Amino acid sequence: MNPLNSVKGSIATGFIVAALITIVLAQLEMTHGGVLNIAILVRWLHVVSGVMWIGLLYYFNVVQVPGLAAAASDTGGPGGAGISKYIAPRALLWFRWAAVATWVTGAFYLVYGYGDWTAIHRAFSLTDKQFISIGIGAWLGTIMAFNVWVFIWPNQKKVLGIVPATDEEKAKARKVALMASRINFVLSIPMLMCMSGQSHTLPF
């Protein structure tokens, strides 16, 4: 059976290929007296999770929301029921758990990447110049993850009919979820700048 015929099979295949490359690189490193760097593996998982999370955030804001608005205004068109019933719930499942995975792996990377647990405090306290960039990025990512679980997902459950809600409640929930998603969309831009800036020497 071809694993590329399913999403799970494709994901598993990607991780297997990455694992094989990791083993080869680790062997080469150990041949030269090095050891397998856990921090690099954790950072890689952080990046993969973040790409999934932010990619879906951009999909929602740039593609799905405008697409559903266009479908609603297209009288006699196919409408957006198919997206609301089949696409959105699946996308939101990956979206919210990718947010968790990104935050958790980011916290682990602070520990493994910088050698001790105090790195988390130094980043979030914004008191250590070495951690200012990544600290701001971590705070922005934390706010975004909070928005996902406290505002976006609970309200989207009402909009999509996963939990019972009146038409008035759905309309209110739609506005709250949209604004929270838009805030995350905006915050993701400086967040990515700060996260990449930590490795490429931003001037703060």
Domain ranges (residues) in the chain: 1-36, 49-200
pLDDT of residue 60: 97
Q: What is the pTM of this model?
A: 0.86
Nearest to 106 by CA among 78, 74, 137: 137
Q: What's the pLDDT at 90?
A: 96
R_g of the chain, CA atoms, integer Å = 20
pLDDT of residue 29: 66
pLDDT score at 201 = 44
Q: State the 10-residue block means of pLDDT for the chain, 204 residues long.
A: 92 93 76 65 92 97 94 89 93 98 95 86 91 94 98 97 96 98 97 79 41
- Helical residues (DSSP H) of 126-166, grouped into ranges: 132-147, 153-159
Predicted local confidence at residue 130, as pLDDT: 87
List alpha helices for 77-131, DSSP H: 81-82, 88-114, 118-125
pLDDT of residue 41: 83
For residue 32, the model assigns a pLDDT of: 56
pLDDT confidence of residue 36: 58
Sign, Cα dihedral of 148, 153, 156, 160: positive
